Structure 1
Amino acid sequence: MKQKKWMTGLGVMILATSLAACGDTAEDTSMEMSEEQSMDHSAMDHSGSGEVPGGLKEASDPTYPVGSTAMMTADHMPGMEGVEATIVGAYDTTVYAVSYTPTTGGDPVEDHKWVIHEELDNPDEAPLSEGDEVVLAADHMEGMDGAEATIDTVEETTVYMVDYTTEDGEEVTNHKWVTESELEAMK
């Protein structure tokens, strides 16, 4: 009888341990999926109209002048890292990485790169600070325009609008935005 109780107790412990391990795995998987979904830029409009927000000032002496080419080191979108970009615009501004929940619903977007100060709805004077809450007036991705966002990072720099061809052959025109630190001189 004692052996039967002991075996039953052991079986319960093994079952509980197995279920706990499965729960952790499921939790880890759902966390990985959420991170993956929040970094998904498939809804991003890679090409743009070329229009820039009012008040945005052209850079007076950019490192990469309009018409020049540079190698992109940016990896915030699939197919852009390591490809040649043609500079179509260079502007001095404050740029932000932001996290927001799309106005169309769906999962929150974390650390979206980039939104410039001029793409915020009625912002205070630039630069804003990490953690500040803002309303977006940019339309790089579906559900972005009008979304409430939190600023993750702040950088005062030259931003570039670029044309490029992705690794898989997609032509992208007037892409907004690539920062100066995400470009390298052609070798």
Structure 2
Amino acid sequence: MNQLTLMTRLAFGAAVGALALTSCAGAGDDRAAPESTPTQDETTSDTSDHEASAHEHDPDGGPPPEGIQEASDPRYEVGETVVLNADHMPGMDGADATISGAFDTTTYSVSYTPTDGGEPVTDHKWVVHEELEDPGDAPLAPGREVVLDAEHMSGMDGAEATIDRSTDETVYMVDFEMDGMEMTNHKWVVESEIQPDN
């Protein structure tokens, strides 16, 4: 009986010790674990996703929307070569471009959730007043909710959006090359995002 009691005590002690060691090891692992940070592969993937999103723009932007007024006295004429000073998408800032249209209207930066289930888009530059469904008189105030009638990107047409800000600068369509892709009638670039091609 003494032998059985001794063996039981030894077995019990070993089990308690093992549990204690496991518990300490787990606590030590939790304290020593570094905070999660993106790996280079994850960072590259994020960059690729951003670039892929930028390339969702149709290379041919198509004609200007109905009802928009051609600019009466634009600083940059149709056919003029300019340099873009805008970073709406990778490869755009500093690119040489040719003006393909110049218009007088109100232009908006908007935030919206794409209709195709894509991630919310904030501060999208730009949509013009004529690309909004039944907007009323321009300019619309920041915070105003609107429905987009534009197809610059997938999931944009018919999306509910919020006006972030507006400008009455002359707005342009431009042709340019971005990462080997020819973009024609790209919509839109406002005058302050263009500089002369010296």
Secondary structure of 1:98's match?
Answer: strand
* Structure 2 counterpart SS, 1:122: coil
Asked if structure 1 preserves the Cα contact closer than 8 Å seen for 2:82 and 2:98, the reply is: yes
What residue ranges of structure 2 are gaps of 5+ in the alignment?
1-16
Greater Rg over alpha carbons, structure? 2
Letter in 2 for 1:88: S
1:48 equivalenced with 2:61 (yes/no): yes
1:184 paired with 2:195, answer yes
Q: Is the 8 A contact 2:145 2:161 kept in 1?
A: yes
Q: Answer whether contact 2:59 2:181 (CA < 8 A) is retained.
A: no
Give the superposition deviation at 1:123: 0.5
Matched residues, number: 177
Superposition TM-score, scaled by structure 1 size = 0.80
Identity of aligned residues (%): 53
CA distance in 2, matches of 1:39, 1:110: 17
List per-residue Cα deviations over 1:94-153 (Å, max 9, x = no partner): 111111111111211222111111100010211112221110000001111100011122
SS at match of 1:40: helix
Alignment of 1:1-187 (within 5 A): 14-18=28-32, 21-22=35-36, 25=37, 40-49=53-62, 51-166=63-178, 168-187=179-198
Would the alpha carbon gap of residues 139 and 91 (structure 1) be closer, same or farther in structure 2, given more than 3 Å must change? Answer: same
The gaps in structure 1 that reach 5 residues or longer are: none
1:172 maps to a residue whose letter is: M
User: Residue 130 of structure 2: SS of its match in structure 1?
Assistant: helix
TM-score by length of 2: 0.76
| C-alpha spacing 1:179/1:185, structure 2 compared with 1 (3 Å) | same
Aligned partners of 2:51, 2:96: CA distance in 1, in Å?
27
Query: CA 1:21–1:165 in structure 2 vs 1: closer, same or farther (change >3 Å)?
Result: closer
Amino acid at match of 1:44: H
Q: Against the structure 1 CA distance between its residues 38 and 67, is the aligned structure 2 distance closer, same or farther, given a 3 Å change threshold?
A: closer
The Cα shift of 1:169 comes to: 2.6
Q: 1:39–1:112: 8 Å Cα contact kept in structure 2?
A: no
Structure 1 residue aligned with 2:8:
none
Contact 2:59 2:182 in 1 (8 A): no
Q: Is the 8 A contact 1:38 1:109 kept in 2?
A: no
CA contact (8 A) 1:39 1:110 kept: no
| RMSD between superposed Cα atoms in Å | 2.9
Aligned-pair CA distance for 1:11? 5.6
